[in-house]
Amino acid sequence: MAIRCIVIDDEPLAINVLKNYITQTRGLELLSTFSNALDGTEFMRNNKVDLIFLDINMPVLDGLNFLKSINVKPLVIITTAYEEHAVESYELEVLDYLVKPIPFHRFVMAANKAFRMHTIQQKSSLPEAADRKFIFVKIDKKKMKKIFLDEITVIESLKDYIKINTYSGKYIVHQTLSSFTDELPADKFIRIHRSYTISVDKIGALEGNSVEIEGYRYTIGRSYFNEVRSKILNKPPEDDNL
């Protein structure tokens, strides 16, 4: 089943670009476009929407306040000309953040995240979903967020904080990378650098001293290299020459 999406943006040119991209992307179904968030809100009251492509700077109701105003959120991909709202957007659990002008390959990367997350959501409604492992993390002073381990891709160190990258969003947590890594199952996650712990299952490629996940490359630290290569390839280091 196609992912049903809408576009909310007050710029006609931006809407046309996204309409063109969506048309070219198999698996996305564009239901409608809106020049303001209020009309988008009204449409969502009466229609099932899986994904929103959402601008931030709009009249009457901006994109971030729109997100705060809705209780049940579809998947959200931000499309904006401004980079400075990225952190706040991820705190609102957006799936991705695209900066205009948006290259088609970057749009496709975001769409692929939506496909994967939509599949996970569909599976989560099945009886066996009760067996999915999860962890609770504190993302602000009062809120504890439930994160399924199979959605985590990369955990990045930010000194005394970490950024947890998942298919459903990115979360900033006041915890060290070492302590958080210790809480994860060792057969599913591995520390590859003083700044990164990754999900082994999410690795798309291994090349030289780096791994590729979700189209991004992450360097393997020199002191971690032999252990990482051995675990990823399931071979002793001497059995393979990279």
pLDDT tens, position by position, 107-160: 999 999 999 888 877 776 555 555 778 999 988 777 888 898 988 999 999 988
pLDDT digits (tens, 9 = 90+) for 45-100: 889 999 999 999 998 899 999 999 988 789 999 999 998 888 888 888 899 999 99
Of 25-34, 113-122, 233-242, minimum mean pLDDT range: 233-242
How would residue 242 be classed by pLDDT, with cut points 50, 70 and 90?
very low
Helix (H, G, I), strand (E, B) or coil at 97: strand
Q: Does residue 238 carry a pLDDT above 90?
A: no
Q: Could you say which of 3.20.20.70, 3.40.50.2300, 3.40.50.620, 1.10.10.60 is the CATH number of the domain covering 3-124?
A: 3.40.50.2300
The string of pLDDT tens digits covering residues 183-223 is 999 999 999 999 999 999 999 898 889 999 988 899 999 99
pTM (two decimals): 0.63
Identify residue 129 by its one-letter amino acid code.
Answer: A
Domain ranges of the chain: 3-124, 132-239
Alpha-carbon torsion, ordered 218, 55, 48, 73, to 10 deg: 60
Q: How far apart are CA 187 and CA 218, in angstroms?
A: 19
Amino acid residing at 233: L
Distance, CA of 16 to CA of 35 (rounded, Å)? 12
Q: Which amino acid is at 133?
A: K
CATH number (2.40.50.1020, 1.10.10.60, 1.10.3720.10, 3.30.565.10) of 132-239 reads 2.40.50.1020
Q: What is the pLDDT of residue 76?
A: 95
Quick check: 155 and 164 in contact, CB under 8 A?
A: yes
Per the listing, tokens 């997100």 go with 67
pLDDT digits (tens, 9 = 90+) for 225-234: 998 988 888 7
